[in-house]
Chain A
Amino acid sequence: MTVVKGEPAPEGADDTGDMTRGGPGGDGYVPSERRLARERHRRARARRATAIAALSTLVTAALLYLVVVNAPGWPRTKETFFSAHYAREAFPKVLEGLWLNLRLLLVCGAAVLVLGMLIAIARTLRGPVFFPLRVLAAAYTDFFRGLPLIINLMIVVLGVPALRLQGVTVDPVLLGGTALTLTYSAYVAEVFRAGIESVHPSQRAAARSLGLTSRQTLRHVVLPQAVRRQVPPLLNDLVSLQKDTGLVSIGGAVDAVRAADIIVGRSLNYTPYIVAGLVFVALTIPMTRFTDWVTARMDRRRAQGGSL
């Protein structure tokens, strides 16, 4: 295809905006023939790019459809994975289970942020007194970042009740939440630590020369900048946590995944898994959009400065 040279033009580029840009100057500016020709060319190129994109999408979709539908096992697959009957049956149950995932997300998310921040701070503390704290924090992140979440969950959810300790819960939800918090705190601590270390030393120097103590410097100068910078990766980890709340089902807690599992076990039809999966995706999309929005807003605010 030699038709489209260079980068695809932005669809619907504001060509009309270009035309008037010179206008408000009030200097009697009239766009030259050269400029008009250039803009005509740009518009034509944008139209062509849009058309090609639409056509290519259509062809791809048609091809995918044909490949799937013509697969030898498709009629069978359609029945076991995409049955409208079972989807209707599973949907309310899955939603009910999802409520548990949401609560887990909220509680674990908050705990992870607090714990992660504390670990990150512990790792950046200087001074000989804090040596054991630094070592512990480093060992914690190394261990829990390396330990597969599923193994962590099994150890905590199945292992802790086996100890038969007095006064320690055997509730799979609480234990599962604890395991999630342990693993994710390690991730989030590293995100915070990267943020803290990304603040330029000159900021610290400025704060210290104003007479701020190292703790005040951390609290008023370093952490606010570190946290702001790390919002996108933090939200990314929260999205990830949101999906992984589904893993508490291995302990028998009835969340969205387990609710689907129950129906599958009874009917031997896998549609409920598809339903549960789509529900998680649907839940994640607003979260990622929110992440994008927060990031964009922060960029804008920095650029505008005075608006807030």
Chain B
Amino acid sequence: MSTLENAPEGHGPVLRMESVRKTFGDSVVLRDVHLEVAPHTVTALIGASGSGKSTLLRCANLLEEIDDGAIWLDGEEITDPRADQDAVRRRIGVVFQAYNLFPHMTVLDNITLAPRRVHGVARAEAEERARELLERLGLAGKADAYPDRLSGGQQQRVAIVRALAVRPRLLLLDEITAALDPELVGEVLEVVRGLKEEGMTMVLATHEMGFARDVADQVCFLDGGVVLERGSAEQVFGEPRHERTRRFLRRIVEAGRL
């Protein structure tokens, strides 16, 4: 039995966005964004910094309120003002670029906080599952350490465990390797690969093009808040339709990142 199995699943896309628009003051960060994420697939959001990748993820988790359009999670509209936002967030795991671990708690407490306080799991059971996950991600000895004592790669893996501990339906990964030293990137990406094999549905914003091409079932190229190109990894990386995509990929190749 997999320890990472998903919550009971519905039919159709796990996440669906339609005509999503989001502005901060005068700047339009997302305009008319459409997205569909099928169960057990990985969607990679690529694009330059400021193209709206992170905002899109934050909107999907209701950390940002969208201006227009709608978002569905398992067929249920979560942007309905009457929707229970806490209940929605309970079903979505998020891993942040800067880890955002709670510095005043041990690794174990970081991981068991939500299962215990939000999902009402008994401490012993929550800790057992946390230790199991830590062990799987090669962090068995770190349960009682404080986050500050861990390397960036270890902290990010703990953050992944924390997101997984509540058995989310969907995992959002926001440039999770962007803050890591190059030699630590691999260990974190390896974890994501493992999760894909277990069938976790994921949406990830990333600058790691090689990884995106390798792991993603669907790649979306964002440019100026628009999903300019959406298709399989082969399509988007192999034969991009838009000039902007081609230019972006060329720059990436020149920088030696692909």
Question: A34 an interface residue at 8 Å Cβ cutoff?
Answer: no
A304 to B103 CA separation, bound complex (whole angstroms): 12
**Other-chain contact of A220, B86, B117, B144 (Cβ < 8 Å):** B117
A101 to B162 CA separation, bound complex (whole angstroms): 49
Q: A209-B89, A305-B145, A306-B146 are in contact. Are A228 and B96 (CB under 8 A)?
A: no
Q: A205-B63, A205-B96 are in contact. Are A305 and B102 (CB under 8 A)?
A: no
Give the distance to chain A from B54, nearest Cβ to Cβ, in Å.
11
Question: A225 an interface residue at 8 Å Cβ cutoff?
Answer: yes
Contact: B117 with A216, CB < 8 Å?
Answer: yes
A209 to B92 CA separation, bound complex (whole angstroms): 7
Give the distance to chain B from A202, nearest Cβ to Cβ, in Å.
5
Contact: A210 with B146, CB < 8 Å?
Answer: no
Question: A203 an interface residue at 8 Å Cβ cutoff?
Answer: yes
* 0 or 1 for each of A208-230: is its CB under 8 Å from B? (1 = yes): 11111100100011001100100
Main SS at interface, chain A = helix
* 0 or 1 for each of B140-164: is its CB under 8 Å from A? (1 = yes): 0000111111000000000000110
A221 to B101 CA separation, bound complex (whole angstroms): 10
Q: A302-B146, A306-B144 are in contact. Are A206 and B96 (CB under 8 A)?
A: yes
Contact: A305 with B166, CB < 8 Å?
Answer: no
Give chain B residues whose Cβ lies under 8 Å from the Cβ of A305: 145-149
Give chain A residues whose Cβ lies under 8 Å from the Cβ of B90: 211
How large, as a class, is the contact surface on chain B?
20 to 34
Contact: B98 with A210, CB < 8 Å?
Answer: no
A228 to B146 CA separation, bound complex (whole angstroms): 15
A211 to B104 CA separation, bound complex (whole angstroms): 19
* 0 or 1 for each of B171-212: is its CB under 8 Å from A? (1 = yes): 000000000000000000000000000000000000000000
Q: A305-B148, A306-B146 are in contact. Are A212 and B100 (CB under 8 A)?
A: no
Contact: B102 with A221, CB < 8 Å?
Answer: yes
Chain A interface, number of residues (Cβ within 8 angstroms) = 22
Q: A224-B104, A302-B148, A306-B146 are in contact. Are A209 and B94 (CB under 8 A)?
A: yes
Give chain A residues whose Cβ lies under 8 Å from the Cβ of B228: none
Q: A209-B92, A210-B118, A213-B86 are in contact. Are A306 and B149 (CB under 8 A)?
A: yes
Q: A202-B98, A305-B148 are in contact. Are A211 and B89 (CB under 8 A)?
A: yes
Q: A202-B98, A224-B104 are in contact. Are A210 and B114 (CB under 8 A)?
A: yes
**Other-chain contact of A210, B103, B148, B149, B166 (Cβ < 8 Å):** B166
Query: In B98-137, which residues have CB < 8 Å from any A CB?
Result: 98, 100-104, 113-114, 117-119
Query: In A165-211, which residues have CB < 8 Å from any B CB?
Result: 202-203, 205-211
Question: B61 an interface residue at 8 Å Cβ cutoff?
Answer: yes
Contact: B104 with A228, CB < 8 Å?
Answer: yes
Give the distance to chain B from A39, nearest Cβ to Cβ, in Å.
33
A303 to B148 CA separation, bound complex (whole angstroms): 8
Give the distance to chain A from B7, nearest Cβ to Cβ, in Å.
13
Give chain A residues whose Cβ lies under 8 Å from the Cβ of B146: 302, 305-306
Contact: A211 with B63, CB < 8 Å?
Answer: no
A48 to B28 CA separation, bound complex (whole angstroms): 66
* 0 or 1 for each of A257-274: is its CB under 8 Å from B? (1 = yes): 000000000000000000
Contact: B148 with A211, CB < 8 Å?
Answer: no
**Other-chain contact of A205, B92, B100, B147 (Cβ < 8 Å):** B100
A2 to B67 CA separation, bound complex (whole angstroms): 69
Give the distance to chain B from A254, nearest Cβ to Cβ, in Å.
44
Give chain A residues whose Cβ lies under 8 Å from the Cβ of B148: 302-303, 305
A209 to B162 CA separation, bound complex (whole angstroms): 11
A302 to B87 CA separation, bound complex (whole angstroms): 34
Q: A205-B100, A302-B148, A305-B148 are in contact. Are A212 and B118 (CB under 8 A)?
A: yes
Give the distance to chain B from A11, nearest Cβ to Cβ, in Å.
32
Give chain A residues whose Cβ lies under 8 Å from the Cβ of B119: 211
Contact: B118 with A211, CB < 8 Å?
Answer: yes
**Other-chain contact of B100, A202, A225, A302 (Cβ < 8 Å):** A202
Beyond A211-B90, A306-B146, 20 extra complex contacts between A and B, CB < 8 Å: A202-B96, A202-B98, A202-B100, A206-B102, A208-B89, A209-B63, A209-B93, A209-B94, A210-B118, A210-B163, A210-B166, A211-B114, A211-B119, A212-B117, A216-B117, A220-B113, A221-B102, A224-B104, A303-B148, A306-B145
| 23 A–B contacts, CB within 8 A, in A order | A202-B96, A202-B98, A202-B100, A203-B102, A205-B63, A206-B94, A206-B96, A206-B100, A207-B113, A208-B89, A209-B93, A210-B114, A211-B87, A211-B114, A212-B117, A213-B86, A220-B117, A221-B102, A225-B102, A302-B103, A302-B146, A302-B148, A306-B144
A-B pairs, top 5 by smallest CB distance, nearest first, are: A305-B149, A211-B90, A206-B100, A305-B146, A210-B114
